[in-house]
Chains A and B, each alone.
Chain A
Amino acid sequence: MRALASPRTSAKPDGGTRAGRGTRRRAWQYTGVPAWIYVVAALGALFILLPLTGMVAQVNWGQFWPLVTSESSVAALGLSLKTAAASTALCIVFGVPLALLLARAQFAGQRILRALILLPLVVPPVVGGLALLYTFGRSGLIGRTLELAGISIAFSTTAVVMAQTFVALPFLVLSLEGSLRTAGQKYEAVAATLGARPGTVLRRVTLPLVLPGLISGAVLSFARSLGEFGATLTFAGSLQGVTRTLPLEIYLQRETDPDAAVALSFLLIAVAVVVVAVTYRAPRSPLRTLLSGPVAERSDAA
């Protein structure tokens, strides 16, 4: 705060006596934030933390282990991890090319494409589920043809993965497109002038450069898939071990056994926190040293 005020005054001729040139330079890096920002930020953090604390306080710890290791809980957790991993893989497969097109290529309808891809972020998941149902459902646009070919998607684990991919894809695309834009095309251009083909540039320069963004995008997608509820319920249904993921199990348990619902909620949060914490930390330190400053900063921003 004080550091913020001083450079302005010290820039004036009469202020030069207090601050030397070196300190002035450091002050100009602008790392200070007004005090009130801390207050509001703390309130914001509390707003997220307090309900979590409230829920943890409700956990019946004596019964916690039996509740989360019941047959239905284990089946739901296993299914959730499996499907979220699969949909994250799909998000990477389809999301990376999409992000590259949006960030690097120029073509007609690019803005419309971006808006469309971000659509799952703004529509309620139930609407996404309905859209999938009317497309891949038995009497849907494409589902009708698939049904004739003997392929039935609804009520299968495939449907769960599709629902999760649908809602999670924008997270990866957004995150990666941001990384690509911030990274710029300097290094790519240099590689190209040295004779690298576009494929080589992508593999050897672009992707390593945006790896932190890709990883954080993938983690976000995984987390979103893990929490998916509305689209899954609408499109895939709910059957133990097949389509009933952890969020659906929590909602169902709540009907009869609130203790179990709370225990499972805690489990879901714990899994999400562990996944995010582990994957966020792992790539950072080696890459920070490997890559130049702006890239490392981006991994924080994403």
Chain B
Amino acid sequence: MRLFTKAAAAALLVLGLAACAPATDTSPGAASTPASPAPAELSGTLNVFAAASLKGTFTELATQYEQANPKVKVSLSFDGSSTLVTQIKEGAPADVFASADKANMKKLSDAGLVQGTPADFASNVLTLVVPPGNPANIKSFADAAKAGVKLVICAPQVPCGAASQSDAKAAGLTLAPVSEELNVTSVLGKVTSGEADAGLVYVTDAKTAGAKVTAIPLGLDKPTVNLYPIAAVNTSKVPDLAQGFMDLVTGAEGQKVLSDAGFGKP
């Protein structure tokens, strides 16, 4: 009901604008239109469903998008990628979906809900993190796999856990974690609280945690790279807004925000 009211209000707004467009043609407002080549002014609400690890960057990009398009409101929803896929499949109003791995994007496209081909826009690799003071005196990935070290990783069922397993394999190590958490945020939490001696998280998580952890690179020749794909959901009522946001994310500005946060190139 509220959505309908909003949509109606937006429609009225657009009609109103169209009606007075000729009159405002010569006003200075028309000249100060942002550099982005928008043939028709975008308006409406865009629902972006994004992986939890994108919280910082996508919040910033959403603000940028709203500033460039004053009539657009971006509504963000962050959660584990698989949770978001389930929600979209059950009819949650998503226009754009940004996944932390290709597997979850594939689940959505297998369900016939993806518009076009998903575009990879970022990548992420794992790093070892230890709490301040490094109580277990860990200097390398191999140290973290030693007996008696309280190592916390993600469960193999979630993307960061799958990456942890393949990185361990690449390093020839067998990990004996004291806990396999359900998401990467929990792993980070166990390390920042000092409960764990070491944890495997994404480099972007380590960067976000700042001084609360010390990152120790895994030092692998071929680390597991998690690719982040983005796609429009084909049930979207605002495909032009979705496309505009995806262009921002994959464009120069979006890539700068992402690389500042520690994400790698796709």
Contact = CB atoms under 8 A, between A and B. Distances in A.
A239 B82 contact: no
Interface string B29-51: 00000000000000000000000
A138 interface: yes
B80 interface: yes
A96 B224 CA distance: 54
B157 A256 contact: yes
Interface in B116-156: 150, 152, 155
A233 B193 contact: no
A253 B83 CA distance: 12
B86 interface: yes
A251 B178 CA distance: 19
Nearest to A154: B195
A237 B158 contact: no
Contacts of A234: 186, 189
A280 interface: no
Contact of B182 (A134, A154, A155, A252): A252
A248 interface: yes
Contacts of B157: 252-253, 255-256
Contact of B150 (A155, A251, A258): A155
A255 B158 contact: yes
A240 B152 CA distance: 13
B168 to A, nearest CB: 16
A251 B157 CA distance: 11
A182 interface: no
Contacts of B193: 133-134, 137, 139
A159 to B, nearest CB: 10
Contacts of A237: 152, 178-181, 190
A250 B152 CA distance: 20
A248 B150 contact: no
A254 interface: yes
Contacts of B86: 254, 258
A137 B150 CA distance: 13
A10 interface: no
With most chain B CB atoms within 10 A of its CB, the pick from A233, A234, A237, A238 is: A237
Given A252-B157, A255-B157, A255-B158, A239 B180 contact: yes
Interface residues of A, number: 24
A243 B155 CA distance: 13
B254 interface: no
Interface in A217-274: 233-234, 236-240, 243-244, 248, 251-256, 258
Contacts of A236: 179
B177 interface: yes
B194 A238 contact: no
B179 A255 contact: no
Contacts of A252: 155, 157-158, 182
A111 B237 CA distance: 55
A239 B195 contact: no
Contacts of B194: 137-139
Interface string B153-169: 00101100000000000
B155 A238 contact: yes
B53 to A, nearest CB: 15
Interface string B177-204: 1111110001001100111000000000
Given A137-B195, A138-B195, A239 B182 contact: no
Interface in A73-118: none
Contacts of B82: 254-256
Given A252-B157, A255-B157, A233 B182 contact: yes
Given A137-B195, A251-B182, A258-B86, A239 B177 contact: yes
Interface in B69-126: 80, 82-83, 86
Nearest to B189: A234
Given A155-B150, A237-B190, A255-B157, A243 B195 contact: no
B180 A238 contact: yes
B80 A255 contact: yes
Given A255-B80, A255-B82, A238 B150 contact: no
A271 B157 CA distance: 26
Contacts of A154: 195
A-B CB proximity, top 7 nearest: A237-B179, A155-B178, A139-B194, A255-B157, A256-B157, A255-B82, A154-B195
Interface of A: 133-134, 137-139, 154-155, 233-234, 236-240, 243-244, 248, 251-256, 258
Given A138-B195, A238-B182, A255-B80, 11 more contacts: A137-B193, A155-B195, A237-B181, A238-B180, A239-B180, A240-B180, A244-B180, A252-B155, A252-B158, A252-B182, A258-B86
21 contacts: A134-B193, A137-B194, A139-B194, A155-B150, A155-B178, A155-B179, A237-B180, A238-B179, A238-B180, A238-B182, A239-B178, A244-B180, A251-B182, A252-B155, A252-B182, A254-B82, A255-B155, A255-B158, A255-B182, A256-B82, A258-B86
